[in-house]
Each structure stands twice: as structure tokens, then as C-alpha cells.
Amino acid sequence: MLGHASYQVAIGRDGLYFTPAFLPLEGPDCTTTLRLSFSQLKPLLSPLGRQQMGALFADKKGGSGKK
């Protein structure tokens, strides 16, 4: 994934998905979409971000955003 100038980011049920925005014609690795799960994202958030993530998953049993 290194070397790309920009990425398309999509949010899914289980995390964020990153796909290179401009795909060169070299090699199959350039089309790989990487996922950052909510549990991986949580330590990177500010206290307010963690609070908002907790609220987002508060009504879902076993949600990865719970504390």
C-alpha cells in the first residue's frame, strides 16, 4: 500500500476499508483493499472519539466498539 498518493476510504460494519485511488498497471498488489477494524482503530482515537464509538455500538451486543 505504500507509494500511493491517495486512497479511497469506505466504512463497513466491522471497520474502515482502504483501497488505492489510482491503480498503476503494475502487479496484483496494487488492488489490495486493507481493513482497519474498529478494535484496531479505538486506541488511536481521542477520548471524545472513544466515547462516540462507544455510543455508536451501545445498542449492539458484542460490538467491537464497546469498552
pLDDT in tens, 24-67: 665 555 668 889 999 999 999 999 999 998 888 887 765 454 44
Q: Return the pLDDT at 40.
A: 94
Query: Per DSSP, which regions of the chain are E strands?
Result: 7-12, 15-20, 34-37
Q: What are phi and psi of 19, to 5 degrees?
A: -125, 135
Please give the pLDDT value at position 61.
60
Nearest residue to 42 (alpha-carbon basis) of 30, 51, 32, 31 = 51
Report pTM: 0.59
Nearest to 1 by CA among 40, 35, 41, 30: 30
pLDDT at 6: 83
Predicted confidence at residue 66, as pLDDT, reads: 46
C-alpha cell at 36: 482497519
